[in-house]
Structures are given as C-alpha cells and as structure tokens.
Amino acid sequence: MIQEKLREKAKELLSKKEVDLIIGFSEWTLPLRTTPVFIRTPEGTESLAWNSFCENNLATYLHKFGRFKVGIVVKGCDARSVVALSLEKRFPNHRPLLIGVPCQRMVDRKKVKKAVKGEILQAVEQGDLLVVKGEDFEVTLKRDDFLYSVCRSCTHRTPNQADFLIGDPVEEFPLDEAHPDVSEFEGKTPEERWGSFEKEISRCIRCYACREACPMCYCTECFVDSTRPKWIEKSLSPSDLAFYHIVRAYHQTGRCSGCGACERACPMDIRLTHLTQKLNQEVKDLYGFETGIQPEVPPPLSTFHPEDEQGFIK
Ligand code: SF4
Ligand code: SF4
Ligand code: SF4
C-alpha cells in the first residue's frame, strides 16, 4: 500500500539522518481534506497519509526551510515546481530529496459537496469509489466524476524527477482534451476575451491567497506591496485588478507547473488557471518547453542567445 511504503521511506530517511525534516500530508479533522505536516522524528512518520485529497503543492513550503535537509512528498506537478525552483537557485545549501508518488488525480471536494444534500461528516475511498456519509445519508460516488479540472487534463502525473518513487509509474494520458478552457478562450474574439477576463476577475478581493499558495511566488517583496516604486494602487478598480492578474500570470510564464493550487486557494472561485494554462501552452508551442520536465533546461524566458528568433521586434 502506497501510504505504508511512504511511511517506511520517510522513517528510513529520518533514521539514517539523510534528512532533518519530512514535508508530507496527514489526515485532518474535516472530511475530504488533508493537511500539510512537518515531521522531524522517525516515529512521527506514522502520521503520513496518502489519498485523493493530498492536493496541496507542498513545494511552496520549501522556501521556509532553506537551512535544513528536507525530504518532501511530491506528485507530478509538485516535482516539476521543485525542479523549476532548483533552476532558479532556490536551494543553495541542500537540494530537497523528492519522495515521489505517482498521482491518481485529486478529488475536488466542492464538486462532491454539490452532489450531496446535507453536511458531509465522513468520506472514505474504496478503490475507484468514494463513500460519503452524513447524519442521515450515505452515497457512493465514482471518484473520477469528481476530479479537479487541472487533474483531468494532466499528462505528467508520475514524478520522474523524484529521488525515490513510491509505487509504479502511471500511464500518462489526459481524461479530457488538454486545457479545454484554453481552447474555448482561444475561440473568442479579442473583445470577447477581454470581456470574459474582466468579468472573471471582477470578483477578486485581492486577498492574495493565490500568491501565497503558489510555490513560484517567493519574492521578498511582491510588486503589489512595493511602495518605492509603487506599481499598483490598493483598489479594486478594474484597471488595478487587471494589472495584478496580468502581471501575476506573466510572472508564471514558463515557471508554472499547472498544479492549480492558486485556483483552489481562491475564496472567490476565480478561474486563475485560464491565463496560466494559456501561457504554458504558448511556451510549449513556441519553445517545446514544459516547466520542470527536464531538470537541466532553464525556462526559455530566463535565457538569451544572440541567435534567438527576433522577428517579433522588427
Ligand atoms: S495536476 Fe497532475 S500531478 Fe498534480 S495533482 Fe493533478 S493529476 Fe496530480
Ligand atoms: S485568491 Fe482570488 S480573490 Fe484572492 S487575490 Fe487571488 S484571485 Fe483575488
Ligand atoms: S500559478 Fe497556480 S497553477 Fe501555476 S504553479 Fe502557481 S499555484 Fe500552481
């Protein structure tokens, strides 16, 4: 069983002092959820969990533990983020050891909650099924009908970059066409695209939960907080909202692993991955590059060669 093997490997790494700390997932008090856990003793590894609710991209916590030798549990997308961060020289002291788990795709609890009437008190996975119980109901759902949309189109579920792989690699195929939202967006006229973008971001309250959840947002001072120079006002005006979202998306170009953590963190259900997936697709089409797949290849927008194609500035 994956969870047992994961605990064994984590315990071994801590016992042999190959790492000071394991970052992984643990069960939580609420159903359909796990919580990040930070383990320093071999005995503590008994709290590690693995299930379809291990959705967080744990790479975001690596910035806080730069001085330590860290072992981190990663899915395909998380491993890609760690590789991207490594290329940005974020781990000058110790490169994290990646304990990879081929991902079964993660369950979107909001979709599950919509499918049942009443408060969910317990949710148990049984193979491909999800048994959900409340005070006066019990329903059995097909797990694959309740997946996150980014997970449905994911084609990098196996963390091939991992130092240790727990379980067998999975077959890489999307359940949906790659990024269906992008195709739909591309089918619109420029005016329609701007209109749908403005409408989507109009709900933004600028809480920055999306920024905090993203492993690639680690600047000491974000451009939205800077006062010297001041790049953006603190308002919710359409122009300030558009500025935040466009700059955020462009900062992710060639760096985003498509994990969807930003979108899951948003309290206003804003479809943040519309823009980032579109930019990911552009980078793939133009440069054949996907974030964090080849550990030695830096993102195209971080490199310059005199012979680069420059037709776009003529
Ligand atoms: S994006 Fe891919 S690797 Fe990441 S959680 Fe979803 S299916 Fe798993
Ligand atoms: S999490 Fe949502 S509401 Fe908060 S800043 Fe990001 S997009 Fe806006
Ligand atoms: S921008 Fe969103 S999808 Fe991309 S790496 Fe950050 S959290 Fe993940």
Sheet order of strands, 21-27 included: 34-39, 21-27, 70-74, 97-100, 164-165
Sequence ranges of the domains in the chain: 2-108+147-302, 109-146
Q: How many Å lie between the centroid of ligand 2 and the Cα of residue 34? A: 22
Residues shown for the chain = 314
In this structure, what DSSP letter does residue 88 have? T
Determine how β-strand 34-39 pairs with β-strand 70-74.
unpaired
Which one of 222, 234, 263, 268 would you pick to mutate in the ligand 2 pocket, going by the greatest count of ligand atoms within 8 A of its CB? 268
Banded model confidence at residue 178, pLDDT cuts 50, 70, 90: low
Rounded CA separation 257/224 (Å)? 23
Question: Would you say 72 and 95 are in contact if contact means Cβ atoms under 8 Å apart?
Answer: no
Residue with tokens 């909650």: 113
Task: Copy the structure tokens of residue 10.
Answer: 């984590």
Beta pairing partners, 25: 36
Rounded CA separation 23/79 (Å)? 13
Question: Would you say 48 and 22 are in contact if contact means Cβ atoms under 8 Å apart?
Answer: yes
Q: Whose CA is nearest to atom 2 of ligand 3?
A: 262
User: Does the pLDDT of residue 70 top 90, yes or no?
Assistant: yes
Q: What is the pTM of this model?
A: 0.93
Condensed to tens digits (0 to 9), the pLDDT of residues 28-43 reads: 999 999 999 999 999 9
**Contact partners, residue 286, CB within 8 Å, separation at least 6:** 300
Which one of 217, 259, 266 would you pick to mutate in the ligand 3 pocket, going by the greatest count of ligand atoms within 8 A of its CB? 259
| Percent of the chain residues past pLDDT 70, beyond the cut | 98
Question: Would you say 54 and 75 are in contact if contact means Cβ atoms under 8 Å apart?
Answer: yes
For the Cβ of 162 lying below 6 angstroms from any atom of ligand 1, the answer is: no
Condensed to tens digits (0 to 9), the pLDDT of residues 108-155 reads: 999 999 999 899 999 999 999 999 999 999 999 999 999 999 999 899
Task: Copy the structure tokens of residue 201.
Answer: 């971001």
Condensed to tens digits (0 to 9), the pLDDT of residues 255-314 reads: 999 999 999 999 999 999 888 988 998 899 888 999 999 988 888 888 888 887 777 666
pLDDT at 179: 66
Question: Would you say 208 and 234 are in contact if contact means Cβ atoms under 8 Å apart?
Answer: no
Report how far apart the first and last C-alpha atoms of the chain are (Å, whole number): 58
What is the pLDDT averaged over residues 197-216?
Answer: 96
What is the pLDDT averaged over residues 32-59?
Answer: 97
